[in-house]
Each structure stands twice: as C-alpha cells, then as structure tokens.
Chains A and B, each alone.
Chain A
Amino acid sequence: MSRWVAALRLVGVGFFVGGSILLGVVAGLWLDNKLNSAPIWVIVGLFLGLVIAFYGVYRMILPFMGNKRDKENS
C-alpha cells in the first residue's frame, strides 16, 4: 500500500466516527418525534451508530494490522 493510501484512509477515520454517531442519534430523534416514544429510539439509534462506528474503524485499520503482523513474522 502506498503512503498516500495509508494517509488518506487514516484521515477518514475521525469524521467517520462522528458521522455515524450523528446519523444514529438524528434518526432516533426523528423517529421519537414521529412516534412519541422518547427516549427509546434515540438509545437504539445511538447504539446502532456506535456499532457502525466500531465496525467502520475496524474495517479501515484492518489493512494496517495485517501489515504489522507480516513484519513481526519475518
């Protein structure tokens, strides 16, 4: 992997975490407003956003973890 790809992938991580949590919470707030069921959907949305954030970060840094393991073996 070239230096550019590595740098750009890591640049995306921070805002991805913020964005996914924001998406979950905003969707939850909207649903709660619609169904009058505060705070159930906010909590569900927050949880879902956190799961997406964790999964996305895991996927983004997976290639780097692989690289490190290779180096340790050789």
Chain B
Amino acid sequence: MPKRGRFSFPVLVGISVLILALGVISLLSGALGKSLLGDIGLPGWLSVPQPHPELPAEVVFHLLGFPITNSIITAWLSIIILVGIFYAATRRVKLVPTRLQIMLESALGWLLNFCQSVAGEENGRRFFPVVATIFLFVIANAWLSLLPGFGSILITNAEGETVHLLRGANTDINLPLALALISFIFVEYWGIRSLGGRRYLRKFVNVGQFFRSMGQLVRGRLRAGLSGMFTGVINIFVGMLEALSELVRIISFTFRLFGNMTAGEILLLIVAFLVPWVLVLPFYGLELLVGFVQALIFSGLTLVFATIAVTHHEAETA
C-alpha cells in the first residue's frame, strides 16, 4: 500500500473508524435515533434542542429610534470582513505577491473574465464594479452564516427578550430586496446612459406606429391605416409588457435569493436536530455550493440584464 498524501495507512484507518463511530453516536443521540430506537440513556449534551426557525429578523437594539435587527449586524460584519481582507491584501502590493494577494487577484481576475465574456470587452469593464460587489457581498453573507456557532449566540435586548445576535443577512427579505433594487436601478441607468433617454424609453412606450397610421386614416387611406393601427395597438401592448416584466425582475431576484438562503438555513437547523454530529457535514458542503451558485446567479443575471439594456431593441430580437 503506497502512502497517499501525508497520512500513512494506519492513521487513515484510525480516522475512518473515528468518523464512523461519531456517525453512529450522532445517529443514536439525535431525534431520529431517539424516535426509532427509544432513549438509550446517552448524556443530554450530545443532542440538540428542537429548533424554532423565525422568518422575520429580531430587533437587537435601537439606534436613534431606528431598529437594528440581527441581520443588519451580520451584513455589517460581512462588510467589515470584506474590507479587512481586501485591505490586508492590498496594503503592500508586491511584484512577488503574498498568498492572500494571489488568491484575491485570481478571484477578481476570474470575475472580470466572466463579466467580459458575457458583456463584451468594454461593457464588461464598465459593469464589473457593481457586479463584483454584488457577488462578493452575497457570497460573504452566505458563507458567514455557515460558521460553527454562528446562530447560537443569544443575548437579551432592551425589551427583555432573548434574541439571536447574528443571523444570515440573506435570510432577511429586506436585504435581497435592497440588492434587487440596486441592480434594477443600475440596469436602467446604464440603459439610459448608453442609448439616450428617448431611445431607451421607446422600448416601453411604442406609440409611433399608432399615430402614423392614424394620420393615414385621416388622409383617407383606409386599408393601410387600419392594418397599421392594429400593429400600433400591439406595439403599445408589447411596450407595456416590457415595462411590467422589468418590474417582475425585481420580485424574482428578491425571492430567488431569499428563498434559497432561508431554505438552506432551515435545512441545516432541521438536519442538525435530527442527526447532530458528523452527518450534518454533507449538508454544510451543499450550502457552500448553494451560496456560491446564488451569488453567481444574482450577479450574473444583473450582468445579462445590463447587457440587454445597452443593446438596441431591434438588434437584439433580430
């Protein structure tokens, strides 16, 4: 048996036996094992109390009459962590980079590459700051709430209630909504900036054909006027649909992020209640993946919508 990696064979066997034993203990001490086999007298600290997931965020304290919830605190925390990491990495930028600098440079390089492959060379550079910020913020929020002990810090607030100090910021619907609004505003801004206000609005208010054929009707060309009128009405209707579908994007952005993150949080709570020890780990891996994918989808869809907004309406459908 050749040595694999750093561990020799007996050590590997030992680790596997330990993990297996922990798995069996976890199965026995959790709620699942208790309901299947009955209580077999394991010590109480092995099991996890039944979780009570709450949908609205809890108010921790008031700042100038403004309620500060635990999800706001977590959002601040992830902002601080992001700023700290980037400050530490770029404080002394060297030609021969440190490990942290290499990591951040390759991550940002990958993001820039992603932007440019979707939106093109020039537009990709233009959209990059917003898209990368959304990506990093969402992924920091998602991964921060996976840290062990994250949701188990309890404090007492001014009203005397016991509340969680921290809670995944993405699981409060206000934060996804705020991000969706930011993404919406930036998409509209880019669209207006690169097409001009009138040309951009023509996508939504498309009345040119209608009035032209009305003029034809007045001048007595009945046949051409009526058929043009019909197309004009359809154009107006399609413009309304465009405007409404722009609004629907905000809702679908919001609920996609909120739904996925809240479902993941509740899944982890329930699994930790059923089988407390080793068997939760695959689900943590799953949530790492979900956090990454959701951050990618949120920023990527912003990028795609921005790309659509800055291209000509006719050029895109043709």
**Could you tell me which residues of chain A, from 4 to 57, have a CB within 8 Å of some CB in chain B?**
4-5, 8-9, 11-12, 15-16, 18-20, 22-23, 48, 51-52, 55-56
**A contact residues, range:** 20 to 34
Contact flag A8-B300 (CB < 8 Å), given A15-B252, A23-B247: yes
When C-beta atoms are compared, the residue in chain B nearest to A1 turns out to be B118
Q: B95-103, B144-152, B237-245: which one contacts chain A?
A: B237-245
Contact B251 A8 (CB under 8 A): no
Contact A19 B251 (CB under 8 A): yes
Instruction: Identify B304's interface contact among A12, A18, A20, A62, CB under 8 A.
Output: A12
- The reply on A73 being an interface residue by CB < 8 A is no
B241 CB to closest chain A CB (Å) equals: 5
- The reply on A74 being an interface residue by CB < 8 A is no
Instruction: Identify B248's interface contact among A2, A16, A62, CB under 8 A.
Output: A16
Contact flag A5-B245 (CB < 8 Å), given A15-B256, A55-B238: no
Label chain A's interface by main secondary structure: helix
Contact flag A16-B245 (CB < 8 Å), given A8-B301, A9-B304: yes
Contact flag A5-B304 (CB < 8 Å), given A23-B248, A23-B251, A62-B317: yes
Chain B window 234-269, contacts with chain A (Cβ cutoff 8 Å), 1 for yes, 0 for no: 000010010011011101100110000000000000
Contact B255 A18 (CB under 8 A): yes
When C-beta atoms are compared, the residue in chain B nearest to A26 turns out to be B251
List of B residues within 8 angstroms of A8 by Cβ: 118, 297, 300-301, 303-304
When C-beta atoms are compared, the residue in chain B nearest to A13 turns out to be B252
- Complex CA distance for A55 and B240, rounded to whole angstroms: 11
B134 CB to closest chain A CB (Å) equals: 14
- The reply on B117 being an interface residue by CB < 8 A is yes
Contact A52 B301 (CB under 8 A): no
List of B residues within 8 angstroms of A2 by Cβ: 117-118
Contact flag A11-B301 (CB < 8 Å), given A18-B255, A23-B248, A52-B244: yes
- The reply on B204 being an interface residue by CB < 8 A is no
When C-beta atoms are compared, the residue in chain A nearest to B296 turns out to be A8
Contact flag A52-B118 (CB < 8 Å), given A9-B304, A23-B251, A62-B317: no
- The reply on B114 being an interface residue by CB < 8 A is yes
Contact A4 B114 (CB under 8 A): yes
Q: Contact residues of A with B, CB < 8 Å?
A: 2, 4-5, 8-9, 11-12, 15-16, 18-20, 22-23, 48, 51-52, 55-56, 59, 62
